[in-house]
Amino acid sequence: MSQWQNQFQQQVLVIGFFDGLHKGHLSVINEAKRIARINEVQVAVMSFFPHPKAIVADLPNSFQYLMPLEDKQAVLTELGINTLLLVHFDRDIASLPSADFVQSFLIGLNAMHIVCGGDFHYGARGIGNTHSLVKQGEGHFQVSIVELMEYGGEKISSTRIRHALAKGNITILRKLLGKFYSVSWCPQNGLLPFYSLRAPGVYEVKLHYKNEIISCSAQVLNEKEAKFTHDFNHWSPSIKIEWVRSIGRF
């Protein structure tokens, strides 16, 4: 921390796990970019790993992630984010009082403006909220709170996307993510770590490999086995699969 604390120019900071980088996350990031442009400073994203809920619930190995860190990093880069500050989330961090987190992680890292959604929480027992953030940052940084983006009268969230995936509800995923959900799949071993798989069933998919995009169907049996109507076994070590729509269950 002390190394980083001396290193940063003033910056706009967004904080959160950002699993899947759904439409709600993008509205927070876009607002941060807008503020950064006006102030001629850079945007940094502060994220955590593993997921705070996995540590607090003591389920480090069974948490269902939507994307691995490498994908998150790649999407953030595409979005023009200059810095990803990745905090290793463990029990010590989980028990850090909210005011201490603000002091060392936000003020200490020279944040001039924090952008978050209305439901943002931080600090021990997740007690810190947008009101305390404004108070604890007084004289140091400003806070902008972005209106929560909804779809169908319900907040868009990573949790909702995980639930939709578990039910095989494909159509709604595109509305929440703004794009098809995609995973990396290895012909020999199945789903790569830190992705989630759709419920067993038959799906229309798009396979991406090098510059080719092949539409076919996939019969998903479990995380290790799926039968595709296109033979891509010679494509290794892994390919990207976009899930387009559900064709049926079995």
Ligand X SMILES: Nc1ncnc2c1ncn2[C@@H]1O[C@H](COP(=O)(O)OP(=O)(O)OP(=O)(O)O)[C@@H](O)[C@H]1O
Residues in contact with ligand FMN by CB under 6 A are 16-17, 52, 56, 93-94, 96, 101, 120-126
**Count of other CB atoms within 10 angstroms of residue 173:** 23
Residue 11 found at the interface with ligand X (CB under 6 A): no
In the complex, minimum distance from the CB of residue 42 to ligand FMN, in angstroms, rounded to a whole number? 21
Among 11, 12, 13, 18, binds ligand X (CB under 6 A): 18
Place of tokens 């880069």: 77
164 burial (CB, 10 Å; 0-12 / 13-18 / 19+) is buried
Give the interface size with ligand X as a residue count (CB under 6 A). Answer: 20
Q: Is 126 or 200 the residue whose CB approaches ligand FMN more closely?
A: 126
Among ligand FMN, ligand X, none, the one that 52 touches (CB under a kind-dependent 5 to 8 A) is ligand FMN
Taking CA atoms, 60 is separated from 17, 52, 81, 116, 119, in Å, by: 15, 9, 28, 26, 24
Q: Note whether 25 binds ligand X by CB under 6 A.
A: yes
Non-local (6+) Cβ contacts of 95 within 8 A are 124
Instruction: State the residue for tokens 């001039």.
Output: 112
Query: Residue 27 CB, nearest distance to ligand FMN (Å)?
Result: 14
Residue 84 contacts ligand X per CB under 6 A: no
Q: Please, which residue, 89 or 185, has the CB nearer to ligand FMN?
A: 89
Q: Token pair 């076994």 is at which residue? A: 233
Give the residue with the Cβ less far from ligand X, 89 or 228.
89
3-state class (DSSP) for residue 129: coil
Which one, of 21, 84, 68, 72, lies nearest residue 238 by Cα?
68
Cα angle for residues 98, 101, 107 (degrees, 5° grid): 125
The encoded tokens of residue 136 equal: 């604890």
Of 70 and 225, CB closest to ligand X: 70
- Give the closest residue to 91 by CA, choosing from 126, 61, 122, 56: 56
To ligand X, the closest distance from the beta carbon of 91 in angstroms equals: 19
Stretch that binds ligand X, among 111-119, 165-173, 190-198, 206-214 (CB under 6 A): 111-119
Using the rule CB under 6 A, is 196 a contact of ligand X? no
Out of 11, 17, 197, 226, point to the residue binding ligand X (CB under 6 A).
17
Min dist. Cβ of residue 18 to ligand X (A): 5
Q: Which residues bind ligand X (CB under 6 A)?
A: 16-19, 24-25, 27-28, 116-117, 119-120, 146, 148-149, 155-159
